[in-house]
Amino acid sequence: MDHLAPVIEIGGIPFDLAAIAMILITSVIVFVIARLAVRNLSVENPGKMQNFLEWLVEFVQGIIGTAMDYRKGRIYLTLGLALIMYIFIGNMLGLPLGIVTEVSASHPTIFGQELVVPAGGHHEGVLHVAWWKSPTADAMSTMALALTVIVLSHVQGLRVNRRHYLKHYLQPWWFFLPINIIEQLSKPLTLGLRLFGNIYAGEVMIAVILGMGVAGIPFLMVWQGFSIFVGTIQAFVFTMLTMVYIAQNTVHEEDH
Amino acid sequence: MENLALVAAGIVFGLGALGAGIGNGLIFSRTIEGIARQPELRGTLQTTAFIGVGLVEALPIIGLVLAFILMGRA
């Protein structure tokens, strides 16, 4: 069953309404969890949420510590915390439920706007539009995250470590310059597409298994478990790679 | 042979699965070897192994997404 995304065009730019709504929902959930965890802070008698958030903060501190010297990396703690919470909750949200509505194929509209239908294939009768999915299952939102983080690493490299950062493009020899540039271009691409591919493929597989009907229930259980595992790993890998890229650009290594 | 897109999807995903399988196998074989040499490093080695899996499986999963796109276009 082919699910379409509710994409409408405003001023020539396509907007994916499901992705926008899910990004908002994920942000609200992350904010609520964080605020609930810091209510009634106490040193002797921490509550469960406070314990959980303290564990998470120490975990992110460990991630930063493996990438760079933690005294230099302290400023990236909130970045790492935001990334890992947002991506983890975003990956988990698409698993439990799905909301699919039907739109007539001959004149598809959503809220009065024309629905953008990808070309190819024949559509007859009704089109199915999926409204609930992981925000990270949308390539544009993961690429936005990846680009933000990579641009941050370049900006920090220029601010903190300018001479060494510019010099490392010409290392180890000057004719490595195109290779270094390709490496820098491939970083946001793989960072964003890795997250997108993992979560999107998981969701498509859920749709395929649902198409098997009742016989697919044990498969669905196994696949949901695996998707939770993959979602956790991908959040961790994204945060870890962010810190590694920032460290590569900002830390001056004395042995070069 | 009208639908070369389906054949392409199969080839893309098949080769990607091959790469993912070989890559993960290499990672975990070294991890097991490391754990056998130094059992107290088990936690660190496992964590590093999963980071490696997340990285190695990136391109085969991008291939999987490509295969879905090709299947949808067929």
Distance in angstroms (rounded) separating the CA atoms of residues A107 and A115: 9
**CB distance A198–B68 less than 8 Å?**
no
Question: What's the pLDDT score for residue A254?
Answer: 61
Question: What's the pLDDT score for residue A221?
Answer: 92
Distance in angstroms (rounded) separating the CA atoms of residues B55 and B59: 8
Query: Which residues of chain B are within 8 Å of residue A2 when distances are taken between CB atoms?
Result: 72
Question: What's the pLDDT score for residue B43?
Answer: 86
**CB distance B62–A240 less than 8 Å?**
no
- Tell whether pTM > 0.95: no
Query: Which residues of chain B are within 8 Å of residue A236 when distances are taken between CB atoms?
Result: 50-51, 54
Question: What's the pLDDT score for residue A176?
Answer: 87
Query: Which residues of chain A are within 8 Å of residue B58 when distances are taken between CB atoms?
Result: 190, 193-194, 197
Q: Could you give the ipTM of this predicted complex?
A: 0.82
Nearest one of A138, A55, A153, A137 to A95, comparing CA atoms: A137
Integer CA distances (angstroms), A38 to A48, A53, A74, A115, in order: 11, 8, 20, 43
Q: What is the mean pLDDT of residues A62-89?
A: 93
Mean pLDDT of chain B: 90
Mean pLDDT of chain A: 86
Assess whether pLDDT exceeds 50 at residue A256.
no
Assess whether pLDDT exceeds 50 at residue A106.
yes
Question: What's the pLDDT score for residue A111?
Answer: 67
